[in-house]
Chains A and B, each alone.
Chain A
């Protein structure tokens, strides 16, 4: 099947087969089409080409309620429950109709038998005692359990779970895995999208890896884990040989292993190494993240994260999906407050300030999704970046300076921002954030959705800005390209800093693959977490150990 969104192929000739009675895992990097696949199966989105068959009959583009009636239930990545209904009422929504439509209107919701069954299922997932509470008062993990249980009421044959373990604490993850196994034994088929590799590898019989809208590898967890193609897909760099050549030509020896990885406890400043990294001047870190723990409502996403962003450098944060990268940036820009710990900018505590105050201090952020106003002209968009500056002469000066760096802004000043290509929009976003002349520029996935050539242009622009004295902190899905560009690298995994060092050091570290795919890359099918510490490079900064101790 294929699915296209305005020229971008979310799924292209994607063929996935799920055997009856299996627990089938679906993994893949961001934007590989996992959730889109769920959406087209359950009828929330239509496919442009191809077909979907269930038990031999075609269900292509059937409406969601029909798909559910046929026996396919799904959960959502961001848990969706009916907040203002009680937990028990949530369970009764999916009860199958008995009798005609008139009875449905007249009859009281939930017969005694249905209520009993609902209570049994709540018992099964372990939240029966909350049955009469309003669903919105549940914690995040409890909501996940409720969402699952509310599907079971209708007794579907197939359950599609979108990140069941996302943002859930380890105890509950185990509990959830047990329940899934129990249900599987009783004959239910599962298709599970999940970023928690341990969870997927431990639970699933088969795993399919999606990359760029098509299946890359399909096999047992063992096979998938040891497949080099999978690692490539996660770390990126398959298609950016151009970038590689460029960077190599500039005298940055990629591939030649340099100094061994230094021990880099989170609080220590990573030592600058050779080459262009010597640009890294002053010893003062520009931004310090100090023991930050935070999350949204339910569980903590970041767990005692500490690192520093040295002034004048490019610091790149990489890590698998759900590691907490975007949460970290949201915390830095003030959208989210650290529950524990603090963030300092030039030595001054900024955690707790409003996003506007932080912006005024000189931290500008370019978000992951396109944030230009599509119906405004390019010039207007760039000027919007300076709306906190009252002095119009200064705005003109800044605009001139920005146009100097970004001729695009002058050349296409009157065009609507929405008419530019994705990469050009990205550059206009950079230009906009430069209007305030910030000291630190925070970029969230600058290369996302760009083709290799445009990605190279964007990366060059990042380097140029850096050369002109801007400190850059970026999050990058394409770990290889991002780290190659950077003077410093941080690997975030499961809300913790797992590795830190210079860009190349982190990039060439043998453990990085394991961090992305959970467990040792080619090792025994052990639990990655327990297998890794100390076993590999003794110099490795395993923040886990320190923090668990």
Chain B
């Protein structure tokens, strides 16, 4: 819900201009920057922005910390790799057409996954998602059709070396736009409100008629779909898929960290967090390959954010803006019915 308490229209114009500028930068990036290192970093970053944003649709809004989304990422990758191999899809744009299929596979896996894991709450839920994740990793190593440790090769792409990254970039950007639209739509919907209610007090939500089981499961499945799609894209971009990369526990942790950094439970926060962290991480990896220096930098950044902005960047900034606005407003008269000391921070329905 967006309803400003103060001079709302000014802020709205500003936000629209900013959004337009961001959109232009994203759309024009590969045309302006031709350096292949930079564009490949951009592709990875977009993929993580999708994954974090999708993860946030479930974990951010419902408050259930899922650490098993690598299952959807890897399964999406395998779905595309296997489909391309077995259906003899030639490289190029045709493989991209398989991405929705990867999303469907991920969502189909999410359904039983969610039905099992969502029987539990809080810490138990986290542990169950991790356990299910390891089942998938083990299966990928050992099943025949995944090719075991030798993995699966994707079809050769016909793109020229100079512009190799461009198609991947725009496909990723397209998926990102869809995911952000989904995230934003959910946040505003009745469905999203019910998820937020579950996050704040699940038992009370049940007492207000929210069918919590279905709502949580729907969000879980919904959040798996984009992750599956970018999983397919990611491994196609790399050209091959191996179990240890497909089902990587670090992927799960990264999504959570990126979302927390930016601000979990908001639309913009996870986007910002993943954009900053993933691009930095890729940059450090590519600049100082082999050495662990980037990990140290990564760790320091993280500590600083946790210490200074424990709620994440976006909510903290939103709070600052809201506080300024609240100060500008004349102090409202105290509620007649209650003389209790009400603390007012003036945050008006969280504008993000």
Q: B-contacting residues of A (Cβ < 8 Å)?
A: 42, 44, 63-65, 68-69, 73-74, 76, 80-86, 88-89, 92-97, 104-110, 125-127, 129-130, 132-134, 137-142, 145, 150-151, 154, 169, 171-172, 175, 298-299
Contacts and interface: CB of A to CB of B under 8 A. Distances in A.
A368 to B, nearest CB: 23
Given A44-B203, A86-B349, 12 more contacts: A82-B200, A82-B204, A86-B1, A93-B197, A97-B190, A104-B189, A105-B190, A127-B337, A132-B348, A132-B349, A133-B348, A169-B338
Interface stretch (B37-45, B136-144, B209-217, B284-292): B209-217
9 tightest A-B CB contacts, nearest first: A139-B340, A82-B200, A86-B349, A94-B208, A64-B206, A109-B193, A68-B209, A126-B337, A139-B342
Contacts, number: 156
B349 A96 contact: no
Contacts of B339: 169, 171
B189 A107 contact: yes
A154 B208 contact: yes
Interface string B129-171: 0000000000000000000000000000000000000000000
Contacts of A92: 190, 193
B208 to A, nearest CB: 4
Contacts of B205: 82, 93
Interface of B: 1, 3, 5, 185-186, 188-194, 196-197, 199-201, 203-212, 218, 265, 332, 335-350
A84 B196 contact: yes
A65 B211 contact: yes
A380 B211 CA distance: 45
Contacts of B199: 84
B342 A104 contact: no
A70 to B, nearest CB: 10
Given A89-B1, A104-B190, A127-B335, A94 B209 contact: yes
Contacts of A73: 207-208
Nearest to B222: A105
Contact of A139 (B208, B341, B349): B341
| Chain B interface SS verdict (over half) | loop
A444 to B, nearest CB: 27
A151 B205 CA distance: 11
Contacts of A64: 203, 206-207
Contacts of A89: 1, 193, 196, 349
12 contacts: A44-B207, A64-B203, A82-B200, A86-B350, A93-B194, A109-B188, A127-B337, A130-B342, A134-B349, A138-B342, A142-B342, A172-B337
A107 B190 contact: yes
Contacts of A109: 1, 188-190, 192-193
Contacts of B348: 86, 132-133
A130 B207 contact: no
Given A65-B209, A109-B1, A141 B200 contact: no
Nearest to B4: A132
B241 to A, nearest CB: 32
Given A65-B210, A134-B350, A142 B185 contact: no
A74 B209 contact: no
A240 B201 CA distance: 42
Contacts of A42: 207
B335 A142 contact: yes
Contact of A105 (B191, B265, B332, B340): B191
B337 A80 contact: no
B64 to A, nearest CB: 15
A189 to B, nearest CB: 17
Contacts of A82: 196-197, 200-201, 204-205
